[in-house]
Structure 1
Amino acid sequence: MATVILLRHARSSANGSGILAGRSPRVSLDATGTKQAQELVGRLAQVPLAAVVTSPLLRCRQTLAPLLAERGITARADSRLSEVDYGEWTGRKLASLGKEPLWRVVQAHPSAAVFPGGEGLAAVQARAVAAVRAHDAAVTAAHGDHAVWLLCSHGDVIKSILADALGQHLDSFQRIVVDPCSVSAVRYTDTRPFVMRVNDHGSDMAGLVPPPPKAKGRKKKVSGDAVIGGSTGR
């Protein structure tokens, strides 16, 4: 299967003000986030992208705008990759939410957390994992096992995808850190996913591109076997 780069949107005005933005429609990137989005072009310069899929929210579209303009490609929006519907928590200060009884559930037992008037984190993981696997299968069918594609979404959504790829219960997903404009990566195979990067802020992403098949004239399937003793490097 292909390799997916999981990009969290760049820093937004809500990130800088301690507000739970949720699905608020007009939350845009702040000055730091705008700079991060511009720098993303260079960070991914050595990575060919077979497809780009994004949450429909403004801050994700703004994050991708410089990259898409540079590549001359269009992103496909998928509502299954949208931010968590935090319901009545949307737009509230994180400092005040920390006093709510549900806060401790979100921290310690997130699979049981359902936001008032919104959705539950278990449902978020189900929709996000279904989306990433469906898009990965489509990219693989169209471009082959050695294709790389990009998904732009939100912190909790990406954390839930990574927890699934790591074989962790959703109750452990709060142990994963995914900062604004960080890159994580997963390579799916028939037998297991391989987590290639988590919360990466580095500048060289070329290592995410699988080596081309050695045999000419036929496609070599990416192995689902782990390397004994760790990676052999390149």
Structure 2
Amino acid sequence: MRLRGPILLVAVALAVALAGDEAEAYLWVRYDLEKGQAFLSDGTPLPSLGSLTPGQYVEWEKGRLKPKRQWRPPNDIEITYPPKAEASRVVFSHERHFAALGAKECTLCHTRLDEHKTWPSRAPTPGLEPHDATSLGRFCASCHDGRTRPADLEGARPPVNAPIFTALGRKGSPSCGQCHAPRDHGLDFTSRHGDVAEHGGGASCTRCHRGAQGIGPAELAQGRAFIRAQLTLLQNPDDEKSFQATLPNNFCAYCHLPDGKAWRRD
């Protein structure tokens, strides 16, 4: 199954933060290949891209659109699963998973994901199964079991081959927060986490987010190549080489690749 072409853009509205009495909206630029039209992620059409790049973040500030250094993959298919009962939301990014695998192997999931509607539990005991039979959380545990390594998966070329964190455990256990957004992240952490990190509060981020402490030259080079590939796909969705490009396996690189300030320690 190939994730590109007409379905390559999924509009995901990002954060709206309240700063004093003024609302500041963090959005990003998306591009509809079929319509040849640029939009903001809230659906607002842009007459032209101008100096903006598809995927670039922008901010409404005092009634004006302010370009940001940050950028996100415009071709990523990102799916948000809303809160259910006591479980908070899950945001699934295809590109982040490809980065961990080091390859784009769609069949690893989709040959099985498209065939079943219920999933057997992989928990060693019923008390360690937090998901019901129809929950995709059970499917995720096919790999997210705390034992499987990325290299165990066919076609994967992982840059890091540590055991994949588990989706199993008692309801409410700390491991749940690695998929389900923690309560302190609110509806979206986009607008606030930079201030937290800049003022010394980002140390706890590394518990879940690999790469939060920095990025190396090889990862930066891979990231720049990935940006070029993503923009090429907007012009030619059938470009196989560009489609196969992956992000570095660095959580922060998803948005901060072109943002030099984020990687400086000064």
How high is the TM-score relative to the length of structure 2? 0.26
Structure 1 or 2: larger helix share?
1
Greater RCO (Cα-Cα under 8 Å, separation 6 or more): 1
Structure ID, larger Rg: 2
How high is the TM-score relative to the length of structure 1? 0.29
